[in-house]
Structure 1
Amino acid sequence: MFGPVRKSVFPCFAEHFAAKSRPVSEQVMVLQNIGTSVLVSPNQLPELHQLLVEAAKLLNTEAPDLYIRQNPVPNAYTLAINGKKPFIVIHTSLVELLTRKELQAVLAHELGHLKCDHGVWLTFANILTMGAYTVPGFGMVAGFLEEQLYRWLRAAELTCDRAALLVVQDPKVVISVLMKLAGGCPSLADQLNVDAFLEQARSYDKAASNPVGWYIRLECCYP
């Protein structure tokens, strides 16, 4: 529905393998978020809750829990654990940096990860790659798997950016989010120029059109 990311032909195996292999740290993260973050609801930060509900409705998916967490690093992430309701976490610094429409784009991006079950496939791919590195003589195989994982990560992020675009219906809003994450701060946010950032991106594409640039693009999971 959202783009190039497709599931494996062995979904049952992958989901079972990932579920059995998830670390205890995920359970710790659940407790940490409940204990150290604010759960958004109709009665708690209702404006943010409404942004989430609207985005979930447009993407035809169930709205997960949403937590706001005090953190100086602008970020948002999603966690889905078998048997528990998935949740999205947004850092306070990201809330301060973005407009309400941009925040909805971020929420839609995270909903895209849930809609496509990216957590299951990422866990499976990571374990497969790490396992290959531990087998003597499988270094080249592990390297190949790692390269494919980076490609998949880029495709997954692009897919979720499309989910954001479906919700906000404005490419400049999505681009503005990327621009602010790259080099924005609340005191300069009103001076940032999306068109200038797009021109910078075109310059990067031109400068990176060589083997070194290709390798750097591959190493960076987010385009």
Structure 2
Amino acid sequence: MKWTRDFGLTARMALTSFLLLIVYLIFLGVLSALGFSFEFLLIVAAGMAFAQYFFSDKLVLWSTGTRIVEEDEYPDLHRSVRRLATEAGLPMPKIGIMASPVPNAFATGRNYNNAVVAVTDSIMRILSKEELEAVLAHELSHVKNRDMLTLTLASFISMLAFLVMRNWFFIGLFGRRDNNAGALIVVFIASILVWVMSTLLIRALSRYREFAADRGSAYMTGNPRALISALQKISGRMDYVPAEKKQEVEGANAFFIIPALSGNTLMELFSTHPSLEKRVAALEALESEVRGY
């Protein structure tokens, strides 16, 4: 298998982490200036970051309703993942199944030894064996590229700002009592700006990492045409999934191979994936290289 380190992805992960750190510090600085104890904020933030780092995979699995399955439950699925993991030089990840009419797949985990590759039960019904293996190879590419950890940690400040936005009135009650209305407005505006900035950074990283994982799948399977077919099938089936079912899983869109957008939320404005047309074009350009002609 041809596999070279993607320095473009590595540079983007480093830049995203650095910029998000700056945004993070500015956000904490604003809250501290409004009367919150900076030491208290740092302790709380560090504690949450620690929990997210060590339990990120469990949080993602819990939020999506995914359960880890053993080999005797899905022997074919385990067999395919094991073969692909061996091809990629990776230890065997855990396998998860998500019960959902939304055909999708994702990978999570902080490192090689804690990786989880999950698929929905519906995606296994609509894809052929070759197409499913191409999707599994895409998810294993995320593990190989180590971009799952960066995405998980990058989402922390975005989620923190979103929580402040949603609960800004109650947070203000525990802040400074003098000029409380002005402080509330500043906190709310700062939270909006931080959320938008961090979400845009995550989007920029996530779009590139999808191209990188598509490329990894093509190299791993030697069959980019299978991934093209799988992406087209998944995208086409999304139109028939009820909007409420897609809305239930929209929070995990950054992890999915194809986003599940209901059209009813702001997630439409912050798409984490490149367009299907661009992904197909990139895979078609890779096909001659993979085939050796």
User: TM-score band, normalised by the shorter chain?
Assistant: 0.5 to 0.7
Cα 1:179–1:99 change in 2 (3 A) is: same
Q: Could you tell me how far apart the structure 2 residues matched to 1:176 and 1:76 are?
A: 15
Alpha-carbon shift at residue 30 of structure 1 (Å): 6.0
Sequence identity percentage: 25
Q: Could you tell me how far apart the structure 1 residues matched to 2:159 and 2:222 are?
A: 39
Aligned residue for 2:50? 20
Secondary structure of 2:9's partner?
Answer: coil
Aligned residue for 1:100? 129
Tell me the C-alpha RMSD between the 2 structures.
3.6
Cα 1:25–1:155 change in 2 (3 A) is: closer
Aligned residue for 1:212? none
Report whether the alignment pairs 1:8 with 2:59.
no
Which stretches in structure 1 are left out of the alignment for 5+ residues?
186-215
Which stretches in structure 2 are left out of the alignment for 5+ residues?
22-45, 165-185, 239-266, 275-293
Aligned residue for 1:188? none
Q: Could you tell me how far apart the structure 1 residues matched to 2:81 and 2:228 are?
A: 20
Aligned residue for 1:113? 142
Cα 1:176–1:83 change in 2 (3 A) is: closer
| Match 1:178 to one of 231, 237, 248 | 231
Q: Is 1:150–1:218's contact at 8 Å kept on the other side of the alignment?
A: no
Alpha-carbon shift at residue 20 of structure 1 (Å): 0.7
Secondary structure of 1:71's partner?
Answer: coil
Alpha-carbon shift at residue 179 of structure 1 (Å): 0.3
Aligned residue for 1:90? 119
Report whether the alignment pairs 1:74 with 2:103.
yes
Q: Is 2:154–2:202's contact at 8 Å kept on the other side of the alignment?
A: yes
Q: Could you tell me how far apart the structure 1 residues matched to 2:48 and 2:222 are?
A: 34
- TM-score, length of structure 1 as denominator length: 0.67
Per residue, is there more helix in 1 or in 2? 2
Cα 1:140–1:81 change in 2 (3 A) is: closer
Alpha-carbon shift at residue 95 of structure 1 (Å): 0.5
Q: Could you tell me how far apart the structure 2 residues matched to 1:217 and 1:33 are?
A: 24
How many aligned positions are there?
186
- TM-score, length of structure 2 as denominator length: 0.52
Q: Could you tell me how far apart the structure 2 residues matched to 1:46 and 1:173 are?
A: 22
